């Protein structure tokens, strides 16, 4: 049998340059991946070095920062009178977040159950894009919606008990923002539950309600909880809605009708005030950011770990 022509007169090229360029490309791609690690390192380095400028100051103590119930970094230009206690900002953040979660978690979860268990293909093809559009609405638009529609309606319903800027209207808008996220993540988790489980439940005589609540939801629980945690951290880090609708007064109360400056809201106000670079008040920005970053980081990490660790795998 005759050999193919290319094998008869072998003129092989050297692969050395090819191997070299291959290696070069791998290295440059690895450098791209390193850049993402650099971003994390950069965030942590930035937060530590800059907030050191805050904690080094004599007007600030660590225990005061964590336990004082007043935060007047913006109001008092005089350092001696400024009070730096993170609790009012934390309380504002958690008030807004709590209201957001009361809105987003049940609505998101039930919409997800509807989408994965009941909805026909036609309804799905309408509902999914609707949720995607809500998810794609810029947050500043939802903030505007909060002051344009939600806050006046609340005032109307309660006959003026709510102040113009209040924690509830911001919380509702943040809840709307988190709803599509909770919904799509939990729906993914529920769709991953195999058909056989549902068929088993129906075969034993369960109603659709019992199948979805007692079989599908528990089977998808790890995914649902991680969705909740991610939504929680998203709500804590949400900025534009609270900057527009939650007010600018740090308050330490549980009253949802009052103003509530959150951590992110404070950062925006501080930037807007164009405070002098290098003052203790300016560096307090970074101390707030450290708190914010720590909380959201732990939440996201927790969500990741729950999803990986407790992931039910069905063969």
Partner 1 sequence: MSSIPDAIVNQDEKFLADNAKRRKRLSLWFYFLCVAIALISVVILVVLMVSIWSQGQSRLSTDLLTRAHSELEIERSGMWPAILGSLFVCGTCAVVALPLGVGTAVFLEEFQPTNKLLRWIHGFVQLNISNLAGVPSIVYGLLGLTVFVYMFNVFGQIRVNESAGMEIMGYKHFYQVLTLEPGHVVFVPQSDPTKRQTTFDEPFRAVDPDGNPIEISIWTPGTPKPSDPAIRRQTVRAGAIGGTITERNWYYFRLPFDKSFLSGGLTLALVILPIIIISSQESLRGVPSSLREASMGLGATTWQTVRDVCLPAALPGIMTGSILAMGRAIGEAAPILVVMGAAVAKSSGPKHLMDDAVTMPVLIFNWAGRQQDEFKELSAAAIIVLLVILLLLNSTAIYIRHHVQKAQS
With 0-12 / 13-18 / 19 or more C-beta atoms within 10 angstroms meaning exposed / middle / buried, residue 7 is exposed
**Residue 312 DSSP SS3:** coil
CA dist., res. 124 & res. 218, Å (int): 23
Please tell me whether residue 50 binds partner 1 under the rule CB under 8 A: yes
The answer to whether 271 contacts partner 1 (rule: CB under 8 A) is yes
Q: How far apart are the C-alpha atoms of 272 and 274, rounded to whole Å?
A: 5
Q: Figure out which of the listed residues 66, 102, 141, 157 binds partner 1, where binding follows CB under 8 A.
A: 141
Stretch of 6-14, 81-89, 91-99, 117-125 contacting partner 1, by CB under 8 A: 117-125
| Single residue of 79, 134, 221, 252 touching partner 1 by CB under 8 A | 134
Residue 81 CB, nearest distance to partner 1 (Å)? Answer: 26
Tokens of 157: 């319903």
CB 256, min distance to partner 1, A: 20
* Phi (first) and psi of residue 56, to 5 degrees: -70, -25
- What is the number of helices (H) and of strands (E) in the chain? 15, 0
> In this complex, which beta carbon is closest to partner 1, that of residue 66 or of residue 148?
148
The position carrying tokens 């909805």 is 119
| Contact map string, positions 214 to 233, toward partner 1, x by CB under 8 A | ----------------x--x
300 binds partner 1 (CB under 8 A): yes
**Separation CA 72–CA 86 (nearest Å):** 10
DSSP labels, 68-79 = -S-B-TTT--SG
By C-beta, is 57 or 139 nearer to partner 1? Answer: 139
Tell me which stretch binds partner 1 (CB under 8 A): 4-12, 91-99, 156-164, 202-210: 202-210
Query: Judged by CB under 8 A, which stretch of 3-11, 82-90, 140-148, 190-198 contacts partner 1?
Result: 140-148
Distances (CA, A) of 225 to 33, 182, 187: 29, 10, 12
Q: Is 249 in the site for partner 1 (CB under 8 A)?
A: no
Residue of 25, 102, 156, 254 that binds partner 1 (CB under 8 A): 25
Q: Which of residues 164-183 bind partner 1 (CB under 8 A)?
A: 176, 179-180, 183
Q: Is 198 in the site for partner 1 (CB under 8 A)?
A: no
Residue 158 neighbours by CB under 8 Å, 6+ apart: 257
Helix (H) or strand (E) holding 217: helix 217-219
**Looking at beta carbons only, is 113 or 193 nearer to partner 1?**
113
Question: What is the DSSP code (8-state) at residue 81?
Answer: G
Q: Which of residues 53-82 bind partner 1 (CB under 8 A)?
A: none
In the set 6, 36, 120, 313, which binds partner 1 (CB under 8 A)? 36
In the bound complex, what is the minimum distance in angstroms from residue 298's beta carbon to partner 1?
A: 10
């Amino acid at each position: 049998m005759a050999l193919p022509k290319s094998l008869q007169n072998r003129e092989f090229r050297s692969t050395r340059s090819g191997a070299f360029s291959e290696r070069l490309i791998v290295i440059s791609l690895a450098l791209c991946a390193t850049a993402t690690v650099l971003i994390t390192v950069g965030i942590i380095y930035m937060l530590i070095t800059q907030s050191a400028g805050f904690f080094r100051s004599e007007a600030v103590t660590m225990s005061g920062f964590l336990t004082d119930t007043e935060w007047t970094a913006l109001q008092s230009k005089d350092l001696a009178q400024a009070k730096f206690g993170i609790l009012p900002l934390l309380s504002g953040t958690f008030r807004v977040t709590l209201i957001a979660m009361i809105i987003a978690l049940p609505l998101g979860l039930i919409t997800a159950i509807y989408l994965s268990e009941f909805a026909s293909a036609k309804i799905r093809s309408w509902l999914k894009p609707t949720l995607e559009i809500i998810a794609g609405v810029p947050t500043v638009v939802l903030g505007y919606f909060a002051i344009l529609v939600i806050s006046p309606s609340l005032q109307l319903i309660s006959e003026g008990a709510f102040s113009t800027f209040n924690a509830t209207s911001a919380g509702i808008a943040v809840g709307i923002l988190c709803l599509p996220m909770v919904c799509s993540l939990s729906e993914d988790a529920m769709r991953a539950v195999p058909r056989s489980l549902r068929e088993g439940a129906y075969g034993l005589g369960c109603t659709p309600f019992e199948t979805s609540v007692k079989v599908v939801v528990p089977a998808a629980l790890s995914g649902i909880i991680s969705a909740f945690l991610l939504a929680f951290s998203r709500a804590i880090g949400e900025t534009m809605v609270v900057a527009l609708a939650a007010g600018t007064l740090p308050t330490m109360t549980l009253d949802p009708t009052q103003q509530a400056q959150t951590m992110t809201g404070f950062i925006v106000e501080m930037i807007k005030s164009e405070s002098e670079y290098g003052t203790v008040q300016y560096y307090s920005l970074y101390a707030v950011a450290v708190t914010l970053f720590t909380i959201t980081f732990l939440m996201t990490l927790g969500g990741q770990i729950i999803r990986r660790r407790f992931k039910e795998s069905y063969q």
